[in-house]
Structure 1
Amino acid sequence: MAFSAEPWVADLGNGTYKNPILHADYSDPDVVRVGDDYWMTSSSFSHVPALPILHSKDLVNWQLVTHALPRLVPEAGFVTPQHGKGVWAPAIRHHAGKFWIYYPDPDYGIYVITAKDPAGKWSEPVLVKGGRGLIDPCPLWDDDGRVYLIHGWAKSRAMVGNVLTLLELNAEGTTVIDDFGYVINGDKLPNYRTLEGPKFLKRDGWYYVFAPAGGVKPGWQSVFRAKSIRGPYEDRIVLAQGKSPVNGPHQGALVDTPKGEEWFIHFQDKDAYGRIVHLQPVTWKDGWPLMGTGVTSGEKTGEPVLVHKKPALPAQPIAVPPTSDDFAAKKLGLQWQWQANPGKHWYSLTEKSGSLRLFAQPETVPGNLYDAPYLLMQKFPALEFSATTVLDASGGAAQAGLIVFGFDYAWVGVRDGRLVQVTVDKASEKPKANYVTAEALTGKVHLRVEVRDGGKCRFSYSLDGKTFTPLGAEFTANVGRWVGAKVGIFAAGASGHADFEEFIVGQ
């Protein structure tokens, strides 16, 4: 099946790119270069599979190639949605011939997984340090062979924040052998708050910690340096919004090219669109990085660029993470995630050829899908896009349809044999539901949502796939807990199933 044009392409085709390079919720991105290949991972919170792995050869065109964590651990802790919990900001590195990801779960501790091939199977998670509130770990293998780990703190769990702690690990990088305490204390720095997301590196005899502060939306990117790994560290704000439209340029990764160029990948919190990914040029002066507009202006604190010359790397074909799916494969596409660890018999790609069959699952709370683990969804992929699916609800599911999900959510589809549009406000609190009923339905129905700037959503349906009729009022997509809105499909009820023939995302 020929899918429609991709809704967001950062490569402008003329040797330049536009930011964001990924207009999708790849929160807290970290990247490592190995040879000519770049590998990215990001937070995934309570969505499953977790820890996406993306690949690029030019830092602009990215493909989603796998997930490093097929299921969340501990298994029993993620049977139901744990909004805002799960996998927080990870770090990906390459050392001793293998890839390493250190990732935090703020309720359990810091884990490590490894792989020879980042696009292949990763090891089972090993708990490096248990405890509540430990977040944002990043390792450093020093020149003398010692292994260090720096991490932040979630004040919501640990009652402490705005500080970074330094640990020493064993040679295998799997357990803590020494705790040096706070190596950087934001409370002792003027105007610092919510210091977090550290990335650790060593360069020209200096230890550097790249870390954002000031909060996700209004904050900035700082760099700290010291001659001793334990400090004292001096600091500089190297990237801030300034007069640009890119608020809170936030944590990410410093990477280089084989020819010596350097770049910084970071995120911007864009409300319903989530934490989208930007690419900034970097040069160094007097032992400090200049980023964004600072590269040309020489300003110590640069601003994010919107359009820039691409990295000096071999030309690559246009690539974006997948969105559309014709359900012809034997496995679910990589774009799809559940709200919790999925059950064994939630879906089938073989029961009806060319269709995804979702087996209806009981509502966790009657009339409210907020805590339903069986919602199958993907990230918003662009500023503006449409998503269209074909639903056959003759399998007896009490309700099934196309959903846009967050703290508020809305869906269009079939409920007890009738075509409906449902909006639920404040789904995590005391939900207020609004139902718009159309007509009794038999056979297939085409369902569509059109998303416009600001997350404005308009649902419609068609019985012939050509003429679409709006249903219900405009809905404004809302964020979830630390994540952007998502779009997807579901089937709910005591029994039965629903079949979806395709899911087409376009401009």
Structure 2
Amino acid sequence: MKSLDRAGNPSPWRPDQGNGHYRNPVLHADYSDPDVVRVGDDFYMTASSFGHIPGLPILHSKDLVNWSLINHAIVRMPLPGYDKPQHGKGVWAPSIRYHDGRYWIFYGDPDVGIMMTTAEDPAGEWSEIHLVQEGKGLIDPCPFWDDDGSAYLVHAYAHSRSGIKHRLRVRRMSPDGMKLLHEGTVIIDDPARHPTIEGPKMYKRGKYYYVFAPAGGVEEGWQTVLRAEHPFGPYEDRIVLKQGNTPVNGPHQGAWVELASGQSWFFHFQHKDAYGRIVHLQPMEWTQEDWPTMGTDIDGDGIGEPVQEAEKPDVGGHYPIAAPVASDGFDSDRLGLQWQWQANPKPEWYSLTERTGYLRLFAQPNLEGSSSLYESPSLLLQKFPALSFRTTVRLDAAGLTGGNQAGLILFGYHYAALVYSADPAGGAQLQLRRGDTEREEVVWQRRTNAEAVGLRAVVRDGALCDFYYRADGEKFERVDQPSFQATVSKWVGAKVGLYARTTENVARGYADFDDFTVEEATGNEEEG
């Protein structure tokens, strides 16, 4: 049984095993710092998007295992500076909640403060971003509305901006979510036991207020839970999830979800190098002493460890296997939701209407003073969707003029791109170009007389990547170069996508792309 995305295309990652069980991760993609809310029989997830636009992805599920990307809460970033890349800035660790008939997302911008947006329909239009509390270094906010109507907000601090990384604070908030009312109370500040603590999520169960908070750092940390009988404490704390003897490093930061059936589940991420922060789902139970336990306690020390496979959540029904869309035939007048730019997009960068069924990218100049694509705002990128996969695209280069290049790119601090390069003196070359944050070089090339070519990138376990091209025949040929090791970028995993660039100072020329397909790597990558 294949996992299908919302467009009906086979997905290269399938968490639902089709036998009543699922495997982790449920999303093998960089949905960093996930948070989830249940509203009736529906579940909605959001995640960090940093400086990539559109931002604040909204995913939907009916069973916590099969997810579809349905929207973004931020279509354009209204803050200054986002006409060019803002690597690692922007949207950090959001929280999503449902209150008073509306959906709410709060997030921290480490350079600005605590931000909020709201909507009646998560798949519809979200409000303009509102600054709840100005403050450099205020991050990871989570709102909480109590039974008596009073409102609170818990947040952490960004060490890079404030010098603090081991402190959580709870503040009173106006019930409309528009402002914080006072400085509040520090509920934990214990660098010896929790050298880094952040990403808090606030809940209430019975007589206790709980703050779920990751500690110990992204790559090697653990999940901590604090509880108290009053929102301002005093709080006691306990470690409830750790890596232990499993391959899942740093299991922490996510969301507790309680089902109508009474079951509890916990989402968290795993930092997996080039793949980014992928999303796991853990079964969760409550002890007689009212502490949560997550995963399974393999070594008997009272702390849970992540499971690799489990029985699916009891949601009272069976739902189709699904996955976020990755492929795009460019048959719509709007880009698929999977695509993000490195900055606020401009209309002159692309068109989906000038040639029906194609994406036209207009060749853009490099940022002034840069010979690398790292600071290029007009890269069109999406997340790596699986442990291994292949992506193929058809490129019509008839619109490229001399000095233009366009193609398929695997992007991070280090990047590689298989491109069609139009020669100013006439003719063209297929090139493999490699670069980093400062420079770029051609490592392979061959002449071609074709104007229409097929480009393919194959990503294998470990994020080792090979490129293939088809210019004159039915089969793809492998680019005769060592495999490229994909890498992270600033706080995000590697991405795959498209671009068109000119060596001139103004945009000139264009490339047409069709049938961007993402599928399982077959092991026979020369076949069309």
Bin of the TM-score, shorter chain as denominator length: over 0.9
Question: Which blocks of at least 5 consecutive residues in structure 1 are unaligned?
Answer: none
Answering whether residue 429 of structure 2 is matched by residue 418 of structure 1, we say yes
Match of 1:105 in 2: 109
Are positions 1:456 and 2:459 aligned together?
no
Is 1:368 matched with 2:381? no
Counterpart position of 2:254: 252
1:63 paired with 2:72, answer no
Letter aligned with residue 125 of structure 2: K
Q: How does 1:35-54 map to 2 (within 5 A)?
A: 35-54=40-59
Deviations 1:123-163 (A, max 9, x none): 11110001111110001111222111000000101122210
Secondary structure of 1:176's match?
coil
Alignment match, 2:487:
478
Shift of 1:367: 3.0
Deviation for aligned residue 1:353: 1.1
2: CA distance between counterparts of 1:441 and 1:67?
41
Count the aligned residue pairs: 500
Q: Match for residue 347 of structure 1?
A: 350
TM normalised by structure 2 equals 0.92
Write the letter of the residue equivalent to 2:456: R
**Deviation at residue 180 of structure 1 after TM alignment:** 1.4
| Aligned counterparts, 1:310-349, within 5 A | 310-313=312-315, 314-349=317-352
Residue 178 of structure 1: how far off its partner (Å): 1.0
Matched with 1:19 is: 24
1:468-495 per-residue CA deviation (whole Å, 9 max, x = no partner) reads 1111331000000000000000001131
| Counterpart amino acid of residue 363 in structure 1 | N
2: CA distance, partners of 1:302 / 1:215: 18
SS in 2 for 1:461: strand
Residue-by-residue CA offset, 1:8-47 (whole Å, 9 max, x unaligned): 0100000000000000000000000000000000000111
Contact 1:446/1:464 (<8 A) preserved: no
Distance 1:389 1:18 in 2: 30
- 2:526 paired residue number: none
2:131 is aligned with 1:132: no
Alpha carbons 1:290, 1:298 under 8 Å: kept = no
Matching of residues 164-203 of structure 1 within 5 Å: 164-187=168-191, 190-203=192-205
Corresponding residue for residue 214 of structure 1: 216
1:405 paired with 2:411, answer: yes
Alpha-carbon distance, 1:177 to partner: 1.1
Unaligned runs of 5+ in 2: 1-6, 423-427, 521-528
CA contact (8 A) 2:32 2:93 kept: yes
Give the whole-Å Cα distance in 1 for the aligned partners of 2:495 and 2:253: 22
State the Cα distance separating 1:464 from its structure 2 match.
5.3
**Deviations 1:335-386 (Å, cap 9, x if unpaired)?**
1000011112211111111110011111114431000000001000000000
Aligned-pair CA distance for 1:501? 1.1
**Distance of 1:16 and 1:459 partners within structure 2:** 35
**Worse-matched range after superposition: 20-29 or 494-503:** 494-503
| Cα distance in 1, alignment partners of residues 44 and 8 from structure 2 | 26
> Counterpart in 2 of 1:304?
306
- Quick one: distance in 2 between partners of 1:484 and 1:250? 17
Quick one: distance in 1 between partners of 2:446 and 2:201?
53
CA RMSD across the alignment: 1.6
More divergent stretch after superposition (239-248 vs 156-165): 156-165
AA partner of residue 251 (structure 1)? Q
SS for the counterpart of 2:310 is: strand
CA distance in 2, matches of 1:224, 1:298: 21
Taking the aligned partners of 2:151 and 2:299, their CA distance within structure 1 comes to 37
**What is the alpha-carbon distance in structure 2 between the residues aligned to residue 140 and residue 191 of structure 1?**
26
Tell me what 1:151 maps to. Answer: 155
Quote the offset at 1:431 in angstroms. 2.8
| Residue identity (%) | 54
Sort the Cα spacing of 1:72 and 1:414 in 2 relative to 1 into closer, same or farther, 3 A: same
Using the TM superposition, give the Cα deviation of residue 208 of structure 1 relative to its aligned residue in structure 2, in angstroms: 0.4
